[in-house]
Amino acid sequence: MDRIDRRRTLERHPKGCIFYKESLLGVFYCAPHAGCGRIGVVIMYRKAVAMNGKRIIAVALMAALCLTGITVIPAEKVKASTNITYMDAVVDPDTHKVTYTEATASCTEIKDLQDKTAWGTAGETTWYTASADLQIDERVTVSGTVNLILCDWKFLTAKKGITVQDDNDNPNDGSPNALNIYDQSDGTGVLNAGTSDEDETSAPYGCAGIGSKSNYDDTDNERNAGSITINGGTVIVCGGKFAAGIGGGEGSSGGTTVINGGNVEVRTDDGAGIGGGFNGSGGSVEINGGSISSISNLGAGIGGGYNGSGGNVTINGGYVEANGRNGAEGIGRGTGDNDSGTLKLGEGVVCYDADTMTALQPDDNGYIGERTQNMKTVYVPEEPPIFADYTCKVDGKVKIPVGKKVKKVTVEDETIASAKKKGKKVIVYGKAPGTVNVTAYGKKNKVLGNWIVKVE
């Protein structure tokens, strides 16, 4: 006997339903007929029915109903929304400080989409989530405004990246296509874009990990990146060759990128880590919070791609590591260009050369003139708090998402805590009160992450 797929009534209950009945043959309900107010009967039949004669009855019943004009719909085509709690980021327009409030949105599960590579509808706002680990092997395209909630402890992988692209040639009129990323209260959801294995890119040639495609393809479709906002979660991005990690594809500028929170790690070649692709300017980048590591070869860490100007970068908070190699600036222009663009620091933000530990002094308006290859910024409040990435109780445990397979994990002081690897996570066990450093390693002993864990 085939296993019967018993769906929860609330998940399949249509709006406006007058009568509802679930059986082995299917789900029966009556609802107002669309457009005319008449009452119609809809039967959602099950594809998995026990082989004891009921399948024959079901087929005969459906055939009879079709002859009488009653609609027959496969149950799998009726999608239900899921209410998901997430953390909504609110940025103060004056101080640029980020606060979070708990909110709820009605989301569509990405796994339920018939085409998992098509997110959103032009001119509309759509909410999505992935409540279970999910990998999408082809490139995703965003249309309209897409709000994505990363669920705690779940991994969403867009192996070939996500297209968020402006739909016209005017970079000054905004983009109708936008991707906004949120997380839940633990902040442990992970999005991999343009990669699924360590630091190796799987984004197509000339395409950003998150952003626009190449302007040099055969489509005559010259477009810059759209609008990308990261409010939380762990976001790991690799760009395709000659493209930015986040921002422009080959020959495209960076569009608009805002990071309010979360952990963001970006790697690419020839495009900027965050900003423009090859021959593309940096566009507009604003960082108000979060922890960001952005590295490129020949493109800026944040700013222009190879032969691209720096665009406009504003950093109001968070912790930023930006490295542009082989002649590119950490924050500014790519190799081969002379225009570093603008870099403005908000109040309390310090910028320095990470190689010499020399501060880069802003002018009276907060703008940095001097640029170097390896730059870092950090927000220093007047009363620095005791910082810890994670907290756990004595005799308790905390899970740390890494986003990549962990080969080894070390703990600085094992009298305070111990740790073990588990796939793409690290589990830390509290032993005694104190603060300890935990480090995860991947292939060839490469450091995947380092965290401060407070045991209390």
**CA-angle at 226, arms to 223 and 228, nearest 5°:** 155
Q: How many CA atoms lie within 13 A of 81 on its CB side?
A: 12
Report which DSSP code applies to 200: E
Give buried/exposed letters for 220-235 (b at 16+ CB in 10 A, else e). Answer: eeebbbbbbbbbbbbb
CA-nearest of 87, 92, 89, 126 to 106 is 126
* pLDDT number for residue 105: 96
- C-alpha 311/C-alpha 342 separation (Å) is 6
Residue 2 lies in a domain: no
Cβ atoms 429, 419 nearer than 8 A: yes
Block means of pLDDT (10 residues each) for the chain, 456 residues, are: 33 37 40 37 38 45 48 43 91 92 95 95 95 95 97 95 82 78 91 80 93 77 87 95 96 95 95 96 96 95 97 96 95 96 94 90 92 89 60 92 89 93 92 91 85 89
Across 92-187, where does the E strand assignment appear? 98-109, 118-119, 125-130, 134-136, 140-142, 145-150, 155-158, 162-163, 178-183
**Residue matched to tokens 């929304």:** 81
Residue 384 lies in a domain: no
**Residue matched to tokens 């005017």:** 170
Q: 307 and 403 share a domain?
A: no
- C-alpha 156/C-alpha 181 separation (Å) is 12
Q: Where is the domain boundary, 316, 350, 379?
A: 379
In one-letter notation, the amino acid at residue 272 is A
pTM of the model: 0.70
Give the containing element (helix H, strand E) for 437. Answer: strand 434-441
Q: 348 and 394 share a domain?
A: no
Q: 41 and 154 share a domain?
A: no
In one-letter notation, the amino acid at residue 8 is R
Q: 348 and 328 share a domain?
A: yes
Residue 441 lies in a domain: yes
Q: Which two tokens stand for residue 316?
A: 């109001």
Q: 311 and 432 share a domain?
A: no
Residue 169 lies in a domain: yes
- C-alpha 353/C-alpha 167 separation (Å) is 38
Q: 421 and 276 share a domain?
A: no
Report CA 413 to chain centroid distance, whole Å.
33
Q: 282 and 341 share a domain?
A: yes
Q: 178 and 211 share a domain?
A: yes
**Backbone angles phi and psi of 63, in degrees to 5:** -60, -45
Per-residue DSSP letters for 155-178?
EEEETT-EE-B-SSS-TTS--S-E
Q: Where is the domain boundary, 354, 379, 404?
A: 379
Residue ranges making up the domain that contains 405: 390-455
Residue 338 lies in a domain: yes
Residue 290 lies in a domain: yes
* pLDDT number for residue 215: 86
Residue 3 lies in a domain: no
Give buried/exposed letters for 105-115 (b at 16+ CB in 10 A, else e). Answer: bebbbbeeeee
Q: 85 and 194 share a domain?
A: yes
How many domains are there within the chain? 3
Q: 368 and 406 share a domain?
A: no
The domain that holds 447 is classified in CATH as 2.60.40.1080
Q: Where is the domain boundary, 328, 351, 379?
A: 379
**Residue matched to tokens 């190689």:** 355
Residue 358 lies in a domain: yes
* pLDDT number for residue 357: 85
Q: 47 and 86 share a domain?
A: no
* pLDDT number for residue 136: 96
Q: Do the bridges between strand 162-163 and strand 140-142 make them parallel or antiparallel, or are there none, so unpaired?
A: parallel
Report CA 155 to chain centroid distance, whole Å.
10
Q: 72 and 124 share a domain?
A: no
